[in-house]
């Protein structure tokens, strides 16, 4: 799905949630066409490719309201956008970020891979958990498999997380300093020797959401907000 269209979709859903028009919380699960997104804390120097290279690669650049630095989205990556009312859960942004991390850690465990947190960096990592250091990062002993960046308004969330599934995104991560983290090594399920179809990965993320947020999760029925239909790409959370 083109990023600009999805960003408009998220914002419409968030406005509807703030206005009380969406009774359940929703998580959109999808893939994007190639795009770089620059969060509020992004530094231009972390986009290492020139405009000409980005144009040749067919990669757009979009500035967004989420926290964090620059990241890449594209085919081979499962992106999740929770539209949640934290008034129903916990009005604590740090708690919310940790729950998203736990969602992905639980999802990875269900797929046969051990994920963990890295001190001072939001997201999920794999590799040698005993070496969660800058040295381990630089040597590739710890590798980042999922990124997280969110925005909250009136305690309603949008933006979210990206899980690298196939090796397809890896080349374009070379266009940037991913998440502004020096010497970070990005990885994917495929690189780590974990092979599952998309349905299995989506199901694992759904399980992770249910586990981390202690809720039931189901595919939403077809509903419409403005011009945007919510179809099978959406997962609804019920607290």
- Report the catalytic residues: 179
Answer whether 60's CB lies under 8 Å from 36's CB.
yes
Answer whether 181's CB lies under 8 Å from 144's CB.
yes
The closest alpha carbon to 164, from 188, 143, 186, belongs to 188
What does the alpha-carbon distance between residue 38 and residue 136 come to, in Å, rounded to a whole number? Answer: 26
Q: If residue 210 lies in a helix (H) or strand (E), which one and from where to where?
A: helix 198-213
The closest alpha carbon to 162, from 37, 64, 61, 58, belongs to 37
Q: Which residues are CB-contacts of 215 (< 8 A; sequence separation ≥ 6)? A: 209, 237, 238, 239
SS3 211: helix
Q: Which residues are CB-contacts of 135 (< 8 A; sequence separation ≥ 6)? A: none
Answer whether 149's CB lies under 8 Å from 12's CB.
no
DSSP 166: S
> Tokens 């959401």 label which residue?
209
What does the alpha-carbon distance between residue 187 and residue 61 come to, in Å, rounded to a whole number? Answer: 22
Token pair of 11 as six digits: 């914002």
DSSP 175: T
């Amino acid at each position: 799905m083109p990023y600009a269209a999805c960003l408009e979709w998220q914002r419409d859903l968030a406005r509807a949630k703030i206005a009380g028009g969406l009774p359940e919380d929703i998580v959109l699960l999808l893939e994007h066409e190639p795009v770089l997104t620059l969060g509020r804390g992004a530094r231009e120097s972390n986009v290492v490719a020139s405009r000409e290279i980005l144009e040749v690669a067919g990669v757009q650049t979009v500035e967004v309201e989420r926290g964090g630095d620059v990241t890449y989205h594209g085919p081979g990556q499962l992106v999740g956008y929770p539209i949640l009312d934290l008034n129903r859960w916990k009005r604590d942004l740090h708690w919310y970020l940790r729950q998203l991390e736990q969602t992905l850690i639980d999802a990875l465990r269900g797929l046969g891979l051990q994920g963990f947190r890295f001190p001072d960096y939001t997201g999920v990592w794999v590799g040698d958990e005993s070496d969660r250091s800058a040295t381990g990062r630089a040597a590739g002993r710890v590798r980042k498999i999922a990124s997280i960046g969110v925005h909250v308004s009136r305690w309603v969330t949008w933006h979210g997380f990206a899980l690298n599934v196939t090796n397809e995104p890896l080349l374009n991560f070379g266009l940037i300093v991913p998440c502004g983290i020096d010497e970070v090594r990005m990885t994917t399920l495929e690189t780590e020797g974990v092979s599952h179809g998309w349905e299995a990965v989506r199901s694992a993320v759904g399980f992770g959401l249910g586990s981390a947020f202690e809720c039931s999760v189901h595919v939403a029925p077809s509903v419409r907000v403005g011009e945007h239909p919510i179809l099978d790409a959406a997962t609804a959370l019920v607290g």
